[in-house]
Amino acid sequence: MTNGITDEAIAAYATDLLDKEADIETLQNDKKAIYANLRDAYGKRVADAVKLAVKRHRMDAEKLQAAEELDAEAERILAILRAPRATRTREAA
């Protein structure tokens, strides 16, 4: 026994953790299968959109707002990049 913990206690914690790791792996495989089924049935675009929506749904309000602001800024920059070169040069002046 070191640091106040017995070998048996360490073994018990390790076993619990290994069990949880197995549970997590099973859940992750289940999640992958759901996305694969979605992709097969409706295509990659729909699967990616659902994945993003689920990710955003889990965000707190502050992170969601930051993500939406970043999307808006990226759209603005994309519009600039897609504008004809002469228009971009005039606007910069």
Per-residue pLDDT tens digits for 43-66: 999 999 999 999 999 999 999 999
Q: Does one domain contain both 47 and 89?
A: no
Q: Does one domain contain both 54 and 65?
A: no
Q: Structure pTM?
A: 0.69
Q: Does one domain contain both 11 and 53?
A: yes
Q: Does one domain contain both 24 and 65?
A: no
Mean pLDDT of 68-84: 95
Q: Does one domain contain both 24 and 47?
A: yes
Q: Are 83 and 92 in contact (CB under 8 A)?
A: no
Domain count, the chain: 2
The rounded mean pLDDT for the chain is 93
Q: Does one domain contain both 42 and 7?
A: yes
Q: Are 88 and 77 in contact (CB under 8 A)?
A: no
Of the candidates 35, 70, 38, 42, the one whose C-alpha atom is nearest the C-alpha of residue 56 is 70
Residue 85 has a pLDDT of: 79
